[in-house]
């Protein structure tokens, strides 16, 4: 199921725009571990295994 939470959508947009886990954590005032958990959940929901696959899928689905 590709239903992403609002926070996951926010993180996807930042990932697609080239932000690192560390930068995302700092910008959203959350821990890097929390970002990693969100990334893991995003990959599971979208059935991707890398940021490159994620970017392609997001553009195909027009999520970002």
Domains and CATH numbers, the chain: 6-61 (1.10.10.10)
Of residues 15 and 63, more confidence is placed in 15
Q: What is the 3-state secondary structure (H, E, C) of 10-50?
A: HHHHHHHCCCCHHHHHHHHCCCHHHHHHHHHHHHHHHCCCC
Contact 21, 35 (CB under 8 A): yes
User: pLDDT band for position 64 (50/70/90)?
Assistant: low
Question: What is this structure's pTM?
Answer: 0.86
d(Cα 55, Cα 64) in Å, to the nearest integer? 9
pLDDT for 62 equals: 75
pLDDT in tens, 2-61: 699 999 999 999 999 999 999 999 999 999 999 999 999 999 999 999 999 999 988 887
């Amino acid at each position: 199921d590709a239903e992403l939470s609002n926070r996951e959508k926010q993180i996807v947009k930042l990932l697609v725009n080239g932000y690192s886990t560390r930068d995302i954590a700092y910008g959203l005032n959350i821990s890097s571990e929390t970002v990693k958990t969100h990334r893991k959940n995003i990959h599971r929901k979208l059935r991707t295994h890398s940021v490159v696959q994620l970017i392609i899928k997001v553009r195909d689905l027009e999520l970002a």
